[in-house]
Amino acid sequence: MDRAQIIALLQRDMEGEHQAIIQYLYHAYTMGREDLAPEIEAIARDEMRHFDWLADLIVELGGEPSLKRDPVDFSRAAPAEQMGKDVGLEETAIAQYRAHIEAIEDEHVRLVLSRILHDEQAHKGIFEGLVEAAGQGEAVEAGAGAPSAPAGPPARLMEILNQGVRHEYTVILQYLYHSFVAEDMELAEGLQNAAINEMQHMGWLSEEVAGKGAQPDMSHTELFLSRDPVQNLEADIAVEREVTKAYSTQLPEIEEEDVRALVERIRDHEIFHDGEFSYLLKEVREAQEAASPEEDKPQPPPEIPSVGSLLGKP
């Protein structure tokens, strides 16, 4: 198996992890079972780590991390049924990783895939336990089917919150990709920290949407992806400023005080992101200038000896 074929298999694995992350988060946000949600979210975080490891392997092999996603089942069902779907997804992952470990000879890749497989087997067991637990507790499904307020969820508020969900999902992917291709450790870490913060935002907004009986829109908009750290950071700063403006404009429209406080808190985080990215951009530019060859640098004026310095010369 050559390098290109290994990269292709790892890209497929990334697409499966991406599907799992979104499906599990969707279940955690929409099932209305606060007793089960933390355990599901913990598994989603494991899948995010897998996504990250696979991207690192692909970049090491000279390939392109895939941000495509295998299709997610966004249908609503009773909690036990949803947990059953997740058992099924883990079974698919287990079979796929086994096949890929079998097919790939590269020692390091096999080691990472075996480590992931080990997690997936544990996840399957946890989800099987959650099928049981979900069947036992009372199924308070957030909004699904149950006739809530006669008017239904407030449309404009749902529009604002879902615009936020789409933005947050978009920047999670964009910042993760930028961190995967960053050669500088500090830059990679800064971008990853921001992505983790955006995941929190997506979670808070999605829970709010689902809690009001509407459907969180976990789809993303256009991504800016390049290998140039300066261009990437410039795009990241631009998107942060844009969303800060959007949230600020929408705030006065939000009547419910706790929702307004939530969006305001998110908006404030975005202002910090702008500050952090601007700092990182400055660092990257300085590092590039320091590393650029002599002839590219502005040369100091040539030293022309003064008349005085010539006096007394032998």
- Give CA torsion, residues 197, 226, 4, 7, to 10 deg: 0
Task: Using CB under 5 A, pick the residue from 52, 120, 141, 276 that binds Fe ion.
Answer: 120
Distance between start and end Cα atoms, the chain? 74
Task: Name the residue nearer to Fe ion (CB basis): 96 or 148.
Answer: 96
Residues 34-63 that bind Fe ion (CB under 5 A): none
**Contact mark string toward Fe ion, 187..216, x via CB under 5 A:** -----------x--x---------------
Task: Specify the amino acid at residue 83.
Answer: M
**Contact mark string toward Fe ion, 136..175, x via CB under 5 A:** --------------------------------x-------
Interaction of residue 13 with Fe ion, rule CB under 5 A? no
Task: Name the residue nearer to Fe ion (CB basis): 120 or 141.
Answer: 120
- What the block records as the tokens of 291 is 């590393």
Task: Name the residue nearer to Fe ion (CB basis): 120 or 208.
Answer: 120
Phi and psi for 216 in degrees, rounded to 5? -65, 135
Interaction of residue 123 with Fe ion, rule CB under 5 A? yes
Task: Name the residue nearer to Fe ion (CB basis): 13 or 120.
Answer: 120
* Binding-site size, Fe ion (CB under 5 A): 8
What ranges in the chain are assigned the alpha helix state H? 3-30, 37-60, 79-103, 107-136, 155-181, 185-211, 229-250, 257-291, 307-310
Task: Name the residue nearer to Fe ion (CB basis): 141 or 168.
Answer: 168
- What the block records as the tokens of 3 is 């390098």
Residues 242-281 that bind Fe ion (CB under 5 A): 270, 273
- What the block records as the tokens of 31 is 């099932």
Interaction of residue 33 with Fe ion, rule CB under 5 A? no
- Burial class for 178, CB neighbours closer than 10 Å (0-12, 13-18, 19+): buried
Task: Specify the amino acid at residue 227.
Answer: R
For the chain, the residue count is: 314
Q: Which residues bind Fe ion (CB under 5 A)?
A: 120, 123, 168, 198, 201, 240, 270, 273
